[in-house]
Structure 1
C-alpha cells in the first residue's frame, strides 16, 4: 500500500457569526476557479500557519480552556501560533480586524505590515476553538485545520466593509445560517456547519471539541477534552 507523502500544514479557519440570538448569519466567500485547494467552493476565511506567526505577540491569548483543547494531540506551542494565524487570515481574506488599539514594537513581518498600519495589535481571547479536521490522504494539499467561532461584535472594524480584503476569496457575504447549505461547499465545511448550527446561540466555548482525524490508516471522529498542561502566550 502506498503512503501519502503530501506534507501536512497546520491551518486556522475563522467562522464569524453575527445576530446569533435573532437571525444568525455567517461570513463566507468563494475560492477561485484556479485554486489548487477546493476551487470554486464557498468556505470560511482561513489558511496555513506561517513561521512568523509563532513570534507575533498577542494583546490577549486564547482562553486557557481553548488553549488546552488545541494542545491535545499536538505541540502545545501551537496554542499561540494557530490563533495568530487566524487573526492574520481573517484580515487578509476579509479585511476585518480582530485586535485592540496598540503600538507594535520591533520589526514587523511583511505579512503583518498592513494589519499593523491600522493601529491595532492582534488579540485572540474572542476566538472559540470549536472543531479540528485533518485533510484525508490523497488530496493535493493537506491541512490540520483548527476552526474558530468568532462573534462579529468582537471585530474592531465595520463587519460589512471588506475593502481591505485580498482577492483570494470572492463574493464575500453574510449568509443566513438557515440558507448556508444551499451553497456549494466542501464536505468538511458542511460538517463544521452542523457544529455551528448547534452552537449558534451558545456563547460558551465547548467543553470538548470534535476532531475529524483522517490519518494514513483510518478516519476517526474523536473529541478533544484538553489537558492540564499550563499555557502562557508569548510576549
Structure 2
C-alpha cells in the first residue's frame, strides 16, 4: 500500500534585510555565509534574517514604519504583525552581524531576544526600512518560511563596524552587486538581489512575491 504524502509544513513568518552602502564608487550589499552545520542552507551566502518571535510584537520602538512601507507590508499582514516583521529584521541584523538600526532611547525588557539590544540605550528604528519582496519556501522543503525582505541604507546604522554576531554567519562582508552575484547563493537570494538592484533605479517597481503552487514557481506582485 502506497504511503500518502506528508502534508506540507505551514511556513513560519520571517524577515530578512538587505543593508546597502553607497559611500564608495559602487553600491555594496552586506552578505553573510551560513555555518556549515546548519540544516537550512548550510555554507551558502545570504542576507541577515530569521523567523519572527513573540517578543517582536512587544518591543518598544524609536520609530514606526514609514507610510509607504506600512501600506505595502500591510497587504501581506495586519499592522501589528507587519511591525513585528520589521522589528524581527532589525533584531536579526543585530544578532547575526552586531550592526544596529536604532536611535537613542531607554526601555526595559524581560525578553532575552531584545535584552542586549535595548541594554545599549537604543531602540529599533523602523522608519528607514523599505519592503522590497516576499517569498514562501516551496512545500517540499523540511523547513518553510514566509519571508518578507527589507532594504535599508547603511547610513541609518549606528555604526558600520560589524560585531561578533551569534555565530550563525561564519563570514560577513560587503560586496558590490557583481561580486555578490558570483557568490554561492540560494536561488531566492539571487532573485531578490537582482530585483533590489533594479529597484535602486526604479523605486516604483511592483514588489515581487515568489510562491509555489502545485510544484510550479509563481512570480506575483504583492
Question: TM above 0.5, one fold?
Answer: yes
| Residue equivalent to 2:220 | 222
Give the 3-state SS of the residue equivalent to 1:77 in structure 2: helix
Could you tell me whether the CA contact under 8 Å between 1:92 and 1:166 is conserved in 2? yes
| Residue equivalent to 2:32 | 29
CA distance in 2, matches of 1:148, 1:30: 19
Give the one of 16, 19, 30 matched to 2:19. 16
| Residue equivalent to 1:141 | 143
| Residue equivalent to 1:213 | 211
CA distance in 2, matches of 1:198, 1:207: 8
| Residue equivalent to 1:174 | 174
Shift of 1:201: 4.7
CA distance in 2, matches of 1:80, 1:182: 33
Shift of 1:92: 0.2
Q: Report the more deviating stretch, 68-77 or 162-171.
A: 68-77
Give the 3-state SS of the residue equivalent to 1:195 in structure 2: helix
Superposition RMSD on alpha carbons, in Å?
A: 1.9
| Residue equivalent to 2:111 | 109
Give the 3-state SS of the residue equivalent to 2:151 in structure 1: strand
Could you tell me whether the CA contact under 8 Å between 1:36 and 1:140 is conserved in 2? no
CA distance in 2, matches of 1:77, 1:196: 25
Q: TM-score under structure 2 normalisation?
A: 0.91
Shift of 1:78: 1.7
Unaligned runs of 5+ in 1: 225-235
Unaligned runs of 5+ in 2: none
| Residue equivalent to 1:150 | 152
| Residue equivalent to 1:233 | none
Give the 3-state SS of the residue equivalent to 1:65 in structure 2: helix
CA distance in 2, matches of 1:183, 1:217: 26
Shift of 1:20: 6.8
Could you tell me whether the CA contact under 8 Å between 1:6 and 1:140 is conserved in 2? yes
CA distance in 2, matches of 1:25, 1:178: 9
Give the 3-state SS of the residue equivalent to 1:125 in structure 2: coil
Q: TM-score under structure 1 normalisation?
A: 0.87
Instruction: Report Cα offsets for 1:77-109 as digits up to 9, x if no partner.
Output: 32111001011000000100111001004x341
Instruction: Report Cα offsets for 1:201-225 as digits up to 9, x if no partner.
Output: 56x5x4631101224575321112x
For the pair 1:119 / 2:117, whether they are aligned, the reply is: no
